[in-house]
Every structure is written in structure tokens, then in C-alpha cells.
Structure 1
Amino acid sequence: MIILFLFCISVFINIIASWSDEPHMLISYIAYINLNDGEKEILNRIFQNGNDAIFDNPITASIWADKIKPNNHKRTFHSSNFRRNELLDIFNEWHYVQLNYNPMKIYIAPYHLRAHKGKHNAMGILKHIYRILIEVRQKLGHGTYYSYNFYLRFFIHIFSDLHQPLHAINFFNSNYPNGDRGGTDISVNYKGSINKLHYLCDNIFKTRKKQWPNINMTNIERDARYLMSTYPPESFGNKLFLPHDKIKYIDDIAHESHDIAVQNIYSFFPLTDLKRSEQYSINQHFVINTKKLLNSQMVLAGYRLSAYLKDIIANIPPDL
């Protein structure tokens, strides 16, 4: 039983991809420009006093959580050779939450049934970080630049991850008894090459696949403003009416992403017979609609992130 439990963990823990660098930086920029000048000044000061000069601002800090992962060349599509290969795989589970999708109602091992519970997943860690930082309540002598950098870098990154629908789902059928790892085990034929569905959604079908440091910050600002003009706040209706209890709302965001994955992505595939060994063709209609959906999710994540950051910044001690 212990061996089976460990195997189940190892199977799913390999889903450690996330939005590519470009989407993360766009989301963070959208959040940043929706802060007021005082809030920006506080956030800038915190990151400028961090422990990693490469990620010393709110935009590049958004990708730090991916850059501290070990670089597994078997699954990595881009090189991170601008810095040493990191060893910190202990945080990998924080980038997603396994909300099960089991339309065939097959037997699921107990580990998978409870995988979304606890602290060590995207929902749990976001709630933990937000609660910790809110409860500081400007108390003098509380927190350091190190702790704020650690928490904020992870919060910004994982909050964005949670809006990528395939970070909130694990699909099961008889061919996927341990799940498909959020589309990581679904192969699709896109423009003549075979790619994993999760990978294509992370980089919005290769339209946002640039990796830092090969990203022009001027282009990030330009594209973020264009996306905001395409998806203004009013276009999201009540999705931007955040409740007073923002901790519980993190659960709602995760389930919203899960539902989007079910209704808009998995609905395209033959769920009963879906299997790892097959390669599935996707048509232009699916690609266009999914790209629009993912771009919309990026902007929504940025607007929502701004609201959460405002709360966090308002509780930072004035002596920090």
C-alpha cells in the first residue's frame, strides 16, 4: 500500500509545467499597472531588496517559482542556461491542484480522491500565503524582505497558474487510472508536430512561448495594455466582484478553472476512449476558441491578482 501511495504521488508530481514565462509576466504586469502609485512603490521596494538580482521587480519576480525548479531536459522545451540549474523540486506540487474529472466513474485510488485537500497544492498554498500576509496587519517588526519576497513571488506565480484551466484538473478513464496530469499525457497534432495538450495551453498554442531573458519588457507592456483593451474589466461581469472572504474565493477560482477545462477543452476529445498512446488532431475552430479563452484567463488573472495584492500591501508594516 505504501509503495502504491508513493507511486501515485510520483506519477502526478511530474506535472510541474506552468504558463510559459511570457503569460506569467503579462499577468503580473496587468496586476501591477492596476495598483496605485503608493502600492507600486511598496512592491518595488520589496522586490529590489530581495535575494535574487535577476528577479528584482514585480514582473520578472512572477517567473522565479519556475526558475528554481530543476531543469529536467526530458520535459523542458526551453533552456534556462542564463543561470545555474537549480535543485528545488520540493515546491513542485504548489503549481497545480488536482480536481478530479471522472466522467466514466472508474475506481480512483484514495490518494487521488484527497489530493486537492491540505496545504501542498495551488489552492492550499495560496490560501496559506494570503492568510499569513493579511494577518500581519502592519505590526511593527514583523516580516523581512526575505520572507515577503519568498511569499509574494510564489503567490503571484501560483495565482496565475490557477487560472490556466489545465492546472486545476486531472482526467480519469480506464486508460488513465492515475489521471492524465492535466492534459500532460494527451498528445495532439498541431501544425504538423506532436505536442502535449498541457504544453500548448501553457503557451497559448505557441503564441506566448518566449522565455526569460529572451523577452522584451517593452513588448510585455505593449501586449498587456492591448490585452486589457481587448478584455476590459466590464467584459468579465461579476467575475471581478470579489467577495469579502478572499480566502474562500481561491477555492471558487480553482473550481471555475476546472469547469472551464471540462466544458471548453475536454469536451472536444473522445473521453471514453481517450488514451496516452494516441495522437489527436485538433481543428482550427478548437484552436481559435481555446486561444481566446486562454488570453481571457490571463487578463482575468491579472485583474484579480491586483485586488489580492492591494490587500497584502495594505497590511505590510510601515517599518519594513
Structure 2
Amino acid sequence: MLGSSLTSALLLAVAVSLLALSGPTHAWWCKGHMVVNEIAKRHLNQNVAAFVDEAAANLSFSGPFPQFFDFVQSACWADDIKSRGLYVMDDWHFIDTPYNPLNVPIKKDPVGKDNAKTVIESLTKTLENKKGHKLVPYILSFALVNLAHFYGDIHQPLHSITLFSPTYPDGDRGGNLEVVHVRGATMKLHAVWDSICQGEQPDLPRPLSEKEYAKLRAFADYLEDTYKPTTAEKSETNVTVMAEESYKIGVEVAYPGIVNGMKLTEEYLERCKKAAEPRLVLAGHRLATILNHVFSDVGTDQSLKSGSRCRAPSSFLHVIFRGAMLGSNE
């Protein structure tokens, strides 16, 4: 018995180590991000929908990423570039608000200066003041596609919380340090929520085939038919409110009963699903609200046409950072 227990403990330790070394997981995975953009696009003004499709397609020609020719498939670009070794924007994907039920001493505030909340606010201001900033097509496309992605991220509950405990004195990185077993697969707790509580699943290859696109649209249909947020909820654009909503779900649904190495019950996965799915709907509606706002002049101002296919200027990060800072200081 002792040998069996020791073997199990060693196997769990190895699994934890391997999963921890695999780096941060991507919020909602690509399917979730694309369904957020699909729902958003359904609620965009017609001229705005056409414009964001063109702007997103422009970005796909800037590098050797999975090709996407519309706004919906551009949703995963911020994760694509991480897989290509660009980690400078890692902190943009989350806001690690401490959850410390046992009041363990916290050595360092986990909420960084650059986080999902501050970046969403800065990118929004950059797009609101696009004419003043004289944004070139690449920068506009970059800001748009990233804003959409981070709207998805901040609605994923484990992107707005990190658990502190004696086991995790430096925080659990939004569930990235807990390993759980889900329907025969070993996953990080964070990844379970990324999967919309469905467990392991293959990434959708892009560009999407007609069959896969139809499945994505059917999933969006199901979500919108099942979850009916109020008008006030759909039009909420206060990023602090979004982060607080996600944090609350983390405290009330994601973490209760979780023990590292446990097998998740079907009851937990059902609660997870009922908490995660409406977040996708809210993210889509709220993204549509902000895009209809920042691009309200599209179609009336010819200078906002995205023009020919853009190439990334060598100084694009400098320009977007400068644009974001200008926006945040206004």
C-alpha cells in the first residue's frame, strides 16, 4: 500500500511539473475566442461589421500565422503570436486579483501594471482617438484584433483571479498550478475553464472549413438561444465590472472543492459549464457595444478605410505602446 501511494504521489508530482513547464494556457482556447467574435459580429452595425472584417484580414498578411480572412477567425491571433515565441504581451491576457481565503502573507502584489484591464482601457482609447493618432492600417488592425481577444480573456473567470494558500504562497496563476483529471485526461484547472468545461479537445484548424464554420455558428446559436442577458448587462463596458464578475465566479464556482490531483465530478463540470457559457455571450455583446462605439464614424469618414493590405512596420510595437499611452493620459 505504501509503495502504491508513493508511486501515485510521484506520478502526480511529475504531471504537475510537466504541465507547469508547458507555460500559460490560452483563455477559452481558440473555439471560445472565435465564438465571442461571432456573437459580437452578429450585433455590429452593418458598416462596422464589414470594416472589422477587412481590418482583421489585413493583419493576417503581416506574418506567417494561421491565415484568417475575417474578424471571427482573427480572435486567436494574440495567442498565435505567443506560440511563435513573442511573449512580451503575456501580461496583457489576465489580471491576477488575489483570492486569499486563509489570509496567508502575500509578498508581492500579483496585479501587474500592465494587465487585461489596463490594456483593454488603453486600446479602447487608442481606437476612440484613431484620427488624432493618425493610426496606420497595421496599427488599427493590431489594436482591434487584440482588443477583441482581451475582451474574451477578461470574461474567462480564471483570468481575473489567483489563489493564495499555504500550498501556493505566490499564487496559483489562475489555476495553472492545479492539476485535475477530467474524463480520462490530465489537465490544469485553468485549462478546464479554457475548454468551456468540455475537457480535452483538438484545436480548430484555420482557416475554418465550411463544415467547421457551420459548427461554430451552431454553437453561437445555442449560446444565444440559451442565455439571455439583460440590456444593461449586454451594454456594460466598464472593464472593472467585467473583471469583478469573473473574480466572483472564480471564488464561488471555480475553486470550491478543488484539491490538486483530484478527479473532477460531472456535477462540477456542469456547474462550470453553466458559469462559463454565459460569459461568452456577455463578452460577445459587450465587444459589439464597444466596437459600434469606436467605429461609429466608419462609412462617414473616408480616411478610415483600411486601404491596401498592410505590412507590419519595424517600429509597430513602439507606435502601439505610444498610442496606448496617449490614450490613457487623456
TM-score by length of 1: 0.79
* 1:257-290, Cα deviation, whole Å (9 max, x unpaired): 0111101111233xxxx5xxx4113222111111
Alignment partner of 1:32 out of 32, 36, 41: 41
The percent of aligned pairs where both chains have the same amino acid is: 27
Structure 1 equivalent of residue 275 of structure 2: 293
The offset of 1:230, in angstroms, is 1.2
Structure 2 equivalent of residue 133 of structure 1: 127
Distance across 2 between alignment mates of 1:13 and 1:208: 15
Matches within 5 A, 1:142-291: 142-206=134-198, 209-213=201-205, 215=208, 216-234=212-230, 238-242=232-236, 246=237, 249-269=238-258, 274=259, 278-291=260-273
* 1:147-185, Cα deviation, whole Å (9 max, x unpaired): 011111111111101101001111000110111111111
Cα RMSD for the two superposed structures: 2.3
Letter in 2 for 1:265: A
Unmatched 5+ residue regions in structure 1? 1-10, 71-85
Aligned length: 275
Equivalent pair of 1:204/1:295 in contact (CA under 8 Å)? yes
Cα 1:156–1:162 shift into 2, 3 Å: same
Q: SS where residue 134 of structure 2 aligns?
A: coil
Q: SS where residue 262 of structure 2 aligns?
A: strand
Distance across 2 between alignment mates of 1:310 and 1:189: 42
More helix by share: 2
Distance across 1 between alignment mates of 2:105 and 2:150: 30
TM-score by length of 2: 0.77
Cα 1:231–1:208 shift into 2, 3 Å: farther
Unmatched 5+ residue regions in structure 2? 1-19, 305-330
Q: SS where residue 196 of structure 2 aligns?
A: coil
Cα 1:51–1:197 shift into 2, 3 Å: closer
The offset of 1:293, in angstroms, is 1.3
Alignment partner of 1:302 out of 276, 281, 284: 284
Cα 1:13–1:206 shift into 2, 3 Å: closer
Structure 1 equivalent of residue 105 of structure 2: 107
Distance across 2 between alignment mates of 1:37 and 1:208: 36
Distance across 2 between alignment mates of 1:252 and 1:15: 24
Letter in 1 for 2:96: Q
